[in-house]
């Protein structure tokens, strides 16, 4: 019942999400009537230790800027006037400014700009005053540099200018006002300087639908969102821009947050402290006791319109994709080993159990030392079937698939990898074979349609053993470790975020079965259990160039437990090719797979709001699955072998088509290859074969590292009597 109520609340709130800002937490209000009557615009020094308020005297409408010092950054309760300057520092050039509004600073504090909406005779007018501060961030040292009248062919664009904003590099200015409720942009030839080269630009559509009597504007950190406030209804409104800092690309829709009855007669606002704070000024026109500053905390810093990320389809799909990936890693590690074991059972009566036989010898001491740990590189090794021999094998795979599940974004999967293994017969028990395998894999998942994806590199090492018993009962076992490197990419509202996540995994598998012989076909019924534990480490999303941290998340560590049971049957049939020159083995599988894995819980929060923890539980959506497959291996009389497996793994809402290929050489009639590299970096390729009682050998020499290579070929046919 509680779950149903919770889901209903989520659905109900989602209906209003397009017109909701999320949570603004009110902190406090500071009454500044006695210090700064007639408050207007507000701004801060970036470190939060100085606050600036523009004001106008109610009797004369003369303009001032009042500077406050804050003992605690961005805490207005600790604000005190910086110096005893009466009404503040008067804003004037050749004459006094009237009715000031928005105030902006050059990032280094050496320039100050103030918007005004009356000329010097008290008539309607619009202008931007530019001041130089001889001491940075000290408003008492301001010197007038320029009055820029916002005109178009001699006609004021606005007769009540209220708003002012700049592009961060100072090359573009934005103004707006009460009369038209439109914003106009101006391009500056010289950054942060209105004295020359100001070019009027585009004008936005009317924004009267959000609120009337525009009071100020502010862009987010990357210019893809614009916040606008009006005092008619005391609302904060957010518009998005498809092109950063281009007001012609403003969206036609907007979201709104109502500041409510607390704010009477809004006069200005500023987001500060990296968008973790909002400050709003209010001024009662008819009362001398309502000059106030209101302080709010933003629940989701960087954006006032925070949403629950656990409800985002891409976020949910990313979490589920990590869980699915961890299962695929186990499956992709165990399947090549089982393919090898199955190959051993099909070929257990042959004199050689290796499907790879290219031996390499490096006489160059430095190179030889590097590869000396790999027994596979021994020169011209005797490959007869003996208990003290190691037999080498390899397998490559390519997997494609897709997953579509309701309430999350779809996933397109590509997975490929390669395995290198070696195994041998136990010296004391010839029914027992054991081995080791190293595997490298890549797992790429494209999520949704916005460009989100996960790219994972996996490095695995596993040990395995199998009993090849005369009574045809068999037991196979695998245990292994994997390291995971995940490149995380998420795109939301055009904002690109990335992160690097590491993880580790331990896995194991047991397979029990029996081989049933028939003159035409062999059957292998069996039961298999796979278990695993994956731990993904915590990580932070970070921005890609041109993006903001507004939607960036921190993901806590995540534990993923895997338990998969399989019951099925394998079959194989052996045929001989034309004139007994090749052996062809057909094989396949039909398996029912039960995914018994428990759900995995993921926790995350906005980087700019660590106090609110969100959760998403990745439930096991695919408990009942199947695998079907067909393969063929061909071994010719010349010794070359090819093994191909094509399989489909079916799961709820999706599938994986898997292609496995093994190419190698099975020594027949004591054929041997070797590749050598000597101290002089000369190379040689040697081939030998015993034909009846004769030894047939071919050797070639070639120097790859000279302008005119030298090479030779020697043929030798010998017999010992």
Q: Kindly tell me if the per-residue pLDDT of 440 is higher than 60.
A: yes
Cα(677)–Cα(687) distance, rounded to whole angstroms? 15
Beta strands in 515-608 (DSSP E): 522-536, 539-540, 542-543, 553-555, 558-576, 582-595, 600-606
pLDDT interval class at 383 (50, 70, 90): very low
pLDDT interval class at 487 (50, 70, 90): very high
Question: 111-115, 153-157, 343-347: which has the minimum mean pLDDT?
Answer: 153-157
Interval 456-475: pLDDT, tens: 999 999 999 998 666 678 89
pTM over 0.85, yes/no: no
Give the CA angle between residues 106, 107, 111 to the nearest 5°.
25
Q: Which residue has the higher pLDDT, 488 or 374?
A: 488
Q: Kindly tell me if the per-residue pLDDT of 31 is higher than 60.
A: yes
Q: Kindly tell me if the per-residue pLDDT of 338 is higher than 80.
A: yes
Question: 51-55, 365-369, 421-425, 580-584: which has the minimum mean pLDDT?
Answer: 365-369
Interval 639-669: pLDDT, tens: 666 788 888 888 877 777 888 777 655 544 4
Q: Which residue has the higher pLDDT, 137 or 682?
A: 137
Question: 47-51, 360-364, 488-492, 525-529: which has the minimum mean pLDDT?
Answer: 360-364
Q: How far apart are the first and last CA of the chain?
A: 92
Question: Of 561, 560, 569, 562, nearest to 626 (Cα)?
Answer: 569
For 544-556, what is the mean pLDDT? 76
Q: What percent of the chain has pLDDT over 90?
A: 33
Per residue in 482-503, is it b (16+ CB within 10 Å) or e — as a string?
bebebebbbbbeebbbebebeb
pLDDT interval class at 583 (50, 70, 90): confident
Q: Which residue has the higher pLDDT, 389 or 524?
A: 524
Cα(460)–Cα(420) distance, rounded to whole angstroms? 11
Whether the CB-CB separation of 133 and 110 falls below 8 Å is answered with yes
Interval 160-198: pLDDT, tens: 788 899 999 999 999 988 777 788 899 999 999 999 889
Question: 313-317, 490-494, 694-698: which has the minimum mean pLDDT?
Answer: 694-698
pLDDT recorded at residue 329: 94
Q: What percent of the chain has pLDDT over 70?
A: 73
Q: Kindly tell me if the per-residue pLDDT of 601 is higher than 50.
A: yes
pLDDT interval class at 9 (50, 70, 90): very low
Whether the CB-CB separation of 409 and 454 falls below 8 Å is answered with no
Question: 260-264, 392-396, 522-526: which has the minimum mean pLDDT?
Answer: 260-264
| DSSP summary character for residue 607 | T
pLDDT, averaged across the chain: 79
Question: 115-119, 183-187, 461-465, 708-712: which has the minimum mean pLDDT?
Answer: 708-712
Q: Kindly tell me if the per-residue pLDDT of 248 is higher than 80.
A: yes
């Amino acid at each position: 019942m509680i779950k149903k109520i919770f889901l209903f609340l989520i659905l109900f709130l989602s209906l209003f999400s397009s017109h909701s800002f999320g949570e603004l937490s009110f902190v406090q209000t500071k009454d500044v009537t006695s210090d700064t009557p007639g408050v207007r615009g507000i701004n801060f020094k970036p470190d939060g230790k100085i606050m600036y308020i523009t004001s106008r005297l109610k009797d004369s409408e003369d303009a001032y800027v009042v500077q406050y010092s804050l003992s605690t950054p961005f805490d207005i309760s600790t604000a005190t006037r910086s110096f005893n300057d009466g009404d503040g520092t008067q804003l004037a050039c050749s004459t006094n400014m009237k009715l000031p509004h928005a105030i902006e600073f050059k990032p280094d504090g050496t320039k100050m700009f103030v918007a005004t909406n009356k000329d010097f005779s008290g008539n309607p007018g619009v202008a931007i005053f530019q001041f130089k501060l001889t001491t940075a961030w000290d408003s008492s040292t301001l010197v007038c540099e320029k009055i820029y009248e916002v005109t178009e062919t001699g006609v004021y664009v606005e007769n009540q200018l209220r708003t002012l904003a700049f592009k961060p590099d100072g090359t573009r200015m934005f103004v707006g006002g009460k009369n038209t409720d439109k914003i106009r942009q101006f391009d500056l030839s010289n950054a942060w300087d209105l004295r020359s080269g100001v070019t009027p630009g585009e004008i936005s559509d009317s924004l009267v639908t959000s609120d009337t009597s525009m009071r100020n504007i502010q862009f987010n950190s990357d210019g893809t969102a614009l916040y606008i406030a009006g005092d008619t209804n005391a609302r904060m409104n957010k518009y998005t821009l498809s092109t950063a800092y281009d007001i012609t690309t403003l969206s036609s829709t907007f979201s709104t947050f109502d500041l409510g009855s607390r704010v009477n007669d809004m006069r200005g606002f500023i987001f500060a402290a990296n968008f973790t704070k909002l400050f709003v000024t209010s001024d009662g026109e008819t009362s001398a006791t309502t000059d106030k500053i209101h302080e709010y905390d933003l629940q989701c810093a960087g954006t006032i319109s925070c949403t629950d990320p656990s409800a985002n389809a891409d976020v949910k799909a990313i979490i589920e994709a990590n869980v699915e990936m961890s299962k695929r890693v186990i499956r992709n590690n165990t399947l090549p080993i089982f393919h090898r074991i199955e190959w051993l059972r099909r070929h257990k009566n042959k004199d050689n159990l290796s499907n790879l036989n290219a031996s390499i010898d490096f006489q160059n001491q430095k190179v030889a030392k590097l590869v000396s740990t790999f027994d596979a590189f021994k020169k011209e090794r005797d490959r007869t079937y003996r208990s003290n021999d190691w037999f080498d094998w390899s397998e490559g795979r390519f997997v494609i698939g897709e997953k579509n599940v309701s309430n999350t974004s779809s996933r397109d999967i590509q997975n490929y990898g390669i395995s290198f293994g070696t195994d041998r017969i136990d010296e004391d028990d010839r029914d027992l074979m054991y081995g080791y395998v190293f595997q490298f894999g890549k797992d790429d998942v494209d999520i949704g349609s916005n460009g989100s994806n996960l790219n994972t590199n996996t490095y695995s090492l596993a040990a395995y053993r199998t009993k090849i018993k005369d009574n045809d009962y068999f037991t196979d076992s695998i245990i292994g470790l994997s390291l995971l490197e995940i490149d995380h990419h998420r795109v939301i509202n055009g904002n690109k975020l990335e992160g690097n996540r590491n993880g580790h995994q331990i896995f194991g598998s047991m397979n029990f079965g029996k081989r049933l012989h028939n003159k035409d076909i062999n059957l292998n019924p069996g039961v298999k259990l796979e278990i695993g534990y994956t731990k993904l480490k915590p990580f932070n999303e970070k921005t890609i160039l041109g993006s903001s941290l507004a939607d960036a998340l921190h993901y806590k560590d995540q534990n993923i437990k895997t338990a998969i049971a399989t019951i099925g049957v394998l079959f194989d049939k052996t045929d001989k090719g034309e004139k007994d020159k090749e052996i062809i083995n057909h094989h396949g599988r039909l398996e029912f797979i039960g995914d018994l894995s428990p759900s995995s819980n993921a926790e995350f929060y906005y980087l700019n709001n660590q106090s609110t923890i969100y959760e998403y539980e990745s439930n096991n959506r695919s408990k009942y699955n199947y695998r079907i497959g067909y393969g063929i291996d061909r071994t010719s009389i010349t010794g070359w072998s090819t093994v191909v497996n094509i399989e489909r793994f079916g799961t709820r809402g999706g599938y994986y088509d898997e292609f496995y290929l093994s190419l190698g050489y099975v020594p027949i009639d004591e054929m041997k290859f070797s590749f050598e590299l000597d101290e002089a970096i000369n190379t040689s390729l040697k081939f030998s074969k015993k034909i009846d009682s004769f030894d047939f050998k071919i050797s070639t020499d070639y120097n790859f590292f000279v302008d005119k290579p030298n090479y030779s070929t020697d043929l030798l046919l010998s017999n010992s009597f």
